[in-house]
């Protein structure tokens, strides 16, 4: 059957908005059919080291230069680069040499985030989320929604994500490196947007601090913090890089939290259900002075209108993260303002404040008195 023309549909009285929606759907559906392709090609670019090679070269490179440096097939590399250029991840520059135009590949702000090193690198985060262990649970998301059996991660691997990481040091290291990527984005935003939350704090414990990247940045950005305690599971703390002014302590936050003027938690509580969050926060409250102490939480806040107004481009990330929590944790979730208020109040804190920053996270201060 021939496709009915737009003019005919309008004559039949079908609203133009419906016709436009139908036209968009014909295109949009392909994003969901092949949605995994972008992640796979970007992962390929990181593994090949394309951005790193161009950066090291110091100027844009031709296909032959790039394929020679990478020691790979130029025809296949051309296809990869064509895809990435079309997504504006790299850019193609035509330069005339002896009147013959030659294509050169150059960096963009996005491609620089695919470099393995650098303050803006997000490569480890991409490699973590695209790794086989993290992709497998997504196939069981519908079973999780139906509440059948264990969590999606446990169904895929036979144990939760934390036990899996403990038994697989390479994956644990990738988790730490990915969290360090986020810390390099979030911590400067915290310091620039609300460093005053650390005013008067002389000792700070970072609960679930991983390899200590966030705490190192906080201590450097807030030099009045004389001592930092990086607190994480023993197998994590034992391999954290030594740093002056920071002590690495291994332990279980469900059992105790080292004492300090303030406790800092970034992307920790969203891994757990409400009851577990309340338990963790009670341990944090017990670790700080009642009169001057505080707990500083850096987490996404779903539906934070202030943050959406300030940076509309980040408003969807919290909802994406909520799906990640559903796939990768047993009962973890991203929380709304009301849900954060509930767990903070139930943990015994008398009041709290929420402040937006130029990052996915907001900063929540919880006060015991």
Q: CB-based contacts of 318: which residues, under 8 Å, 6+ apart?
A: 300, 301, 302, 304, 334, 360
For the question of residue 270 being annotated catalytic, the response is yes
Active-site residue, from 154, 270, 328, 365: 270
CA–CA dist 4, 53 (Å, integer): 51
Active-site residue, from 154, 157, 171, 299: 299
H or E, element range at 265: strand 262-266
For the question of residue 177 being annotated catalytic, the response is no
Q: CB-based contacts of 124: which residues, under 8 Å, 6+ apart?
A: 116, 174, 177, 178, 180, 181
For the question of residue 38 being annotated catalytic, the response is no
Alpha helices for the chain (secondary structure H):
6-11, 16-33, 36-48, 50-57, 63-70, 74-86, 109-112, 123-129, 132-135, 141-145, 152-157, 161-167, 169-194, 213-221, 234-237, 274-287, 305-310, 317-328, 337-346
Active-site residue, from 157, 171, 177, 334: 334
- Residues serving a catalytic function are 270, 299, 334
């Amino acid at each position: 059957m021939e496709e009915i023309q737009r003019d005919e549909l309008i004559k039949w009285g079908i609203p133009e908005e419906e016709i436009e929606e139908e036209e968009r759907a014909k295109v949009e559906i392909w994003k969901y059919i092949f949605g995994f392709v972008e992640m796979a090609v970007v992962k390929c670019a990181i593994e090949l080291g394309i951005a790193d090679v161009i950066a090291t070269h110091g100027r844009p490179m031709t296909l032959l230069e790039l394929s020679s440096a990478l020691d790979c097939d130029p025809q296949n590399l051309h296809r990869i680069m064509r895809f990435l250029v079309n997504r504006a991840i790299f850019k193609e520059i035509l330069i005339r040499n002896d009147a013959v135009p030659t294509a050169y590949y150059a960096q963009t702000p996005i491609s620089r985030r695919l470099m393995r090193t650098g303050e803006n690198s997000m490569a480890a985060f991409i490699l973590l989320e695209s790794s086989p262990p993290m992709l497998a649970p997504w196939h069981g998301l519908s079973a999780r929604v139906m509440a059948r059996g264990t969590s999606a991660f446990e169904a895929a691997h036979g144990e939760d994500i934390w036990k899996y990481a403990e038994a697989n040091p390479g994956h644990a290291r990738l988790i730490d490196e990915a969290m360090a990527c986020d810390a390099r984005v979030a911590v400067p935003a915290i310091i620039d947007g609300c460093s005053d939350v650390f005013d008067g704090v002389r000792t700070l414990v970072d609960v679930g601090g991983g390899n200590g990247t966030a705490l190192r940045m906080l201590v450097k950005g807030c030099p009045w913090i004389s001592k930092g305690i990086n607190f994480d599971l023993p197998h994590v703390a034992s391999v954290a890089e030594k740093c002056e002014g920071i002590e690495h302590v291994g332990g279980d936050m469900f059992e105790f939290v080292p004492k300090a003027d303030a406790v800092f938690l970034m992307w920790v509580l969203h891994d757990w259900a409400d009851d577990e969050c309340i338990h963790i926060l009670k341990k944090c409250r017990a670790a700080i002075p009642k009169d001057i102490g505080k707990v500083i939480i850096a987490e996404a806040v779903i539906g934070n209108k202030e943050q959406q107004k300030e940076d509309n481009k980040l408003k969807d990330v919290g909802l994406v993260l909520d799906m990640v929590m559903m796939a990768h944790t047993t009962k973890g979730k991203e929380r709304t303002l009301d849900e954060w208020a509930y767990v903070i109040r139930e943990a015994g804190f008398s009041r709290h404040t929420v402040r937006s920053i130029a990052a996915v996270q907001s900063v929540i201060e919880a006060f015991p008195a």
